[in-house]
Structure 1
Amino acid sequence: MKKTDVHTIPIEDLLTKSTAAYLMDTPFPDNRLSKIPLWKKIWNEKRLERLLKTLKKDLHPYISEFKAYAEPAANRDNARVVKLKELVIDTLEKIDEKKLLFDQPFLTYFLSQGYMDAAEGFLLKAETDDAQLSHVDIFQAMRNVWIMNSLQLYWGNPVKVTAPMYAYSMLYPYTDNLLDNPEIDTRIKKAFNQRLSKALSGEKVDACSDTEKRIFILVDEIFEQFPKNTFPAVTESIQLIHKAQVESLKQTADKSLSEDDILKISLFKGGTSVLADAFLLTGSLNREQMVFSFHYGAFLQLLDDLQDKESDLKEQTQTRFTIRDTQESMDNEITKLIAYIYKVNSPDSSDDQTKARLKDIISRCTLIMVMESVGKNLGCVTPAFYRKLESYSKVRLKTYRALQEQIESIMESIV
């Protein structure tokens, strides 16, 4: 048997463990959360609103220089660009100092670990490599970079953007835009998946479009760093996420899927995604690292499914949340998701201070994203469950939409 044919990733076991953990009857993690009084939420909201308004006003004089910042010949040490970044950092530090979103200085921690520098380098390279990519596409890729950065922190490695990390993250907007586009015929998607599968196995494949050509170049860049004969698990992990993407097409095409089938597809897609992230950072993983990475991706995918419920309903995509047709059933499903997040991020006796901190950050940040999603869809859960979620939030749930709009307005003015 060839070395590249040996399966090193226990994918069935990882999927079975994550499925069991999600379906386990676990209560809401009240004991790990603190309730925030209403007056404090309103106070936090007003301070956040003032900080963001002030930031937008203060940024205005520096925007023109920043818009030219992505040009290849741009002066990276431009004093006005430096000032713009200082204003953003100062605002994030004040949000932490006043504990407006978290009790712990999570934002400051990420800044101190080099997150902004890594993000800046990634954005500049992405805009230079492909000027046709939208900012939405680039930030979609950036999200995966942040996940990989968090894994670097979790395992005590420096935060930076490596060549394989960049290439793999950039695959997301290119492949997702094609596979998730309802206007593209299923037969075209299947044909593309077949070509991509060959490329991911190391074969040379002729591209049928400029987008495919770019995708295959990115795949080649990954294999330059991790040759398949030397790093078979890296190749296997990338093939697994591709297999998961192909499986996810059933969520739209196959109306006979059971609830368990739908859950496993989401867990498989999300779990293999971050599993590939992890392999591309280290080249190899032990069992504990694989389990953590798979769980991490699994709950992030379920969070995506929650956030995308309305668009998935329109596209007739089956997820654990689109098949819920009552508020009570949504209460139960969201409780399962929150319990799963906190369960797999529970502190372990072997965790060092960094791992314990990252688990806490991941749990609390994803909980905020759940709250934000519920806040945007006021009628999706029962009033009692809405109040329960809101009681643990630093702001009222409906405020998350306004905060997001403020942040998007700031980002749009800059980029």
Structure 2
Amino acid sequence: MDTWETIREDDRYRITAAVKTVTDVWKKTPAVAGAWMFRAISVKERAENDKRCREVWGKLNGHLQSFPQAVHGQKMWREKAEKALSDAMDKDVMFQLGRLPGDVRNGFLEAVRTFIRHTRVFDRELVLEDLGQALRNYFVYFMLCLADGSDRWFHEAIWGYSLLYPYTDNFLDGEKTRQEKAAFNCRLEQKLNGIKTEAEDDLEQKVFSMVDSVEDIYPRKIFSGLYDFLLTIYDAQIKSMEQQGKTEKTAEELLQMSAYKGGASIYVDQCMIDGNLKEKDVLFLTGFGLFLQLADDLQDVDEDAGNGHQTLMTLSAGAGFLDEIVGRLLSFLKYVFENYWSGEEAYKGFVLDNCVQLVIMTVFQNEQYFSEKFKRKMEEWSVLPAGFFAWMDAENTKNRENMQHGPVNMMEILDVWCQVPSLE
């Protein structure tokens, strides 16, 4: 019996019924998102947001370009960066951060700074893309903290858990043989089971250190459920690897795998708040986890299709436009929040709208998969005009190129902002 089935049969989690309920809801959800579901944004409001975001973006980019190489000028630069970031968060509409109270935004910014500082002290070799992957998981945790009424926005367990994602991906995506990857998975399973295990190389040692960071905060003997869910995530990862290149999966099989992966991941995020999963949260988390997994698959649809990875999104893309499945995704999201939300009511709108805007942004960043009619409909709900996202991608590409040819890189700039101790 695999880890997932063991967890589903354990009554203390009460997950079996939640998974069935959520997947049944998905299958019954209409493929067309009703116009009434989300607030329509006026052309005037979108234009105002567009102007404001471009101005903020320009100021932030200008400040990055003004980074001084001389150490004596970096303290003043950092102080100005604080003001620029605070102003950007106050005016943010893309991620909805401007809706949060000022003390919450400041606390979030400090938590992100601490996260990056911990990471840079631990591993100077981690690249910006991998740091971004870890921070995306951290942001899900932050939203769950708000829903739970917790201000425990940083601790080493969530830091370690978030970094497990890029570290394990780097190992499994690296130039290792199938036998080496299988051996790594076996050792990782032993480590997650609490069995003393020796790492075979530096990257593997980093993975094991992240597990240790979790266990330092949440001892295995007291918080055993957390480790069951961690095991489930990597069980899902192995199954996902096994299905690559094999016979095609049905939509039902891919749906169950998505619920499996998404559920396990968000259960761990929730456990990171205080070590436990509360029964009252299971139904919402199961639905939210499925949404996040499918949203992630939407973001990766082009890459997954090219690599032969099977997801519900690649299955739908093979049959034509993604209009229907993304319409269903938004309808499903609305249903989950309206019927299963179990958190603080004050933050329900923030989390929901953040998710809606994430999907809309992904649609415009992968516009070749959608009809013109569908894109026009998405723009009605978007806080920013469709053209903004193409502009943003172009600006990001230009900034990356400038950094590659400049005297300093982004990680060195982050070191100054986060006040990372010098290695010298």
User: Structure 1 residues 84 and 236, CA, compared in 2 at 3 Å: closer, same or farther?
Assistant: same
User: Structure 1 residues 226 and 324, CA, compared in 2 at 3 Å: closer, same or farther?
Assistant: same
Unaligned regions of 5+ residues in structure 1, if any? 70-77
Give, as a single letter, the amino acid of the residue that structure 2 aligns with 1:176.
D
Give, in whole Å, the separation in 2 of the partners of 1:91 and 1:164: 29
Q: Map 1:270-349; keep pairs closer than 5 Å.
A: 270-325=262-317, 330-346=322-338
1:170 to 2:163 alignment: yes
Paired residue for 1:32, among 31, 37, 41? 37
User: Structure 1 residues 86 and 154, CA, compared in 2 at 3 Å: closer, same or farther?
Assistant: same
Paired residue for 1:397, among 380, 386, 393? 386
CA distances 1:3-50 after superposition (whole Å, capped 9, x unpaired): x99944334333323212222223514323232344543443233222
The offset of 1:351, in angstroms, is 5.9
1:45 to 2:37 alignment: no
Per the alignment, residue 89 of structure 1 pairs with 86
The offset of 1:361, in angstroms, is 1.8
TM-score (normalised: structure 1): 0.85
The offset of 1:329, in angstroms, is 5.2
TM-score (normalised: structure 2): 0.84
Per the alignment, residue 201 of structure 1 pairs with 193
CA contact (8 A) 1:371 1:397 kept: no
Per the alignment, residue 112 of structure 1 pairs with 105
Farther off after superposition, 355-364 or 192-201: 355-364
CA contact (8 A) 1:33 1:392 kept: yes
Give, in whole Å, the separation in 2 of the partners of 1:30 and 1:90: 33
Per the alignment, residue 154 of structure 1 pairs with 147
1:363 to 2:352 alignment: yes
Farther off after superposition, 300-309 or 44-53: 44-53
Give, in whole Å, the separation in 2 of the partners of 1:359 and 1:186: 44
The offset of 1:60, in angstroms, is 4.0
Give, in whole Å, the separation in 2 of the partners of 1:248 and 1:34: 37
Q: Map 1:2-13; keep pairs closer than 5 Å.
A: 7=10, 8-13=12-17
CA contact (8 A) 1:271 1:293 kept: yes
Q: How many residues align?
A: 396
The offset of 1:115, in angstroms, is 0.5
Paired residue for 1:237, among 219, 229, 241? 229
Give, as a single letter, the amino acid of the residue that structure 1 aligns with 2:143.
S
Q: What percent identity do the matched residue pairs reach? A: 25
Give, in whole Å, the separation in 1 of the partners of 2:126 and 2:73: 16
The offset of 1:277, in angstroms, is 1.4
User: Structure 1 residues 379 and 218, CA, compared in 2 at 3 Å: closer, same or farther?
Assistant: closer
Unaligned regions of 5+ residues in structure 2, if any? 1-5, 404-409, 415-424
Give, as a single letter, the amino acid of the residue that structure 2 aligns with 1:10.
R
CA RMSD of aligned residues (A): 3.0
Paired residue for 2:261, among 269, 272, 279? 269
Give, in whole Å, the separation in 2 of the partners of 1:288 and 1:152: 15
Give, as a single letter, the amino acid of the residue that structure 2 aligns with 1:139.
G
CA contact (8 A) 1:248 1:269 kept: no
Farther off after superposition, 363-372 or 38-47: 38-47
Paired residue for 1:15, among 10, 16, 19? 19
Give, as a single letter, the amino acid of the residue that structure 1 aligns with 2:351.
I
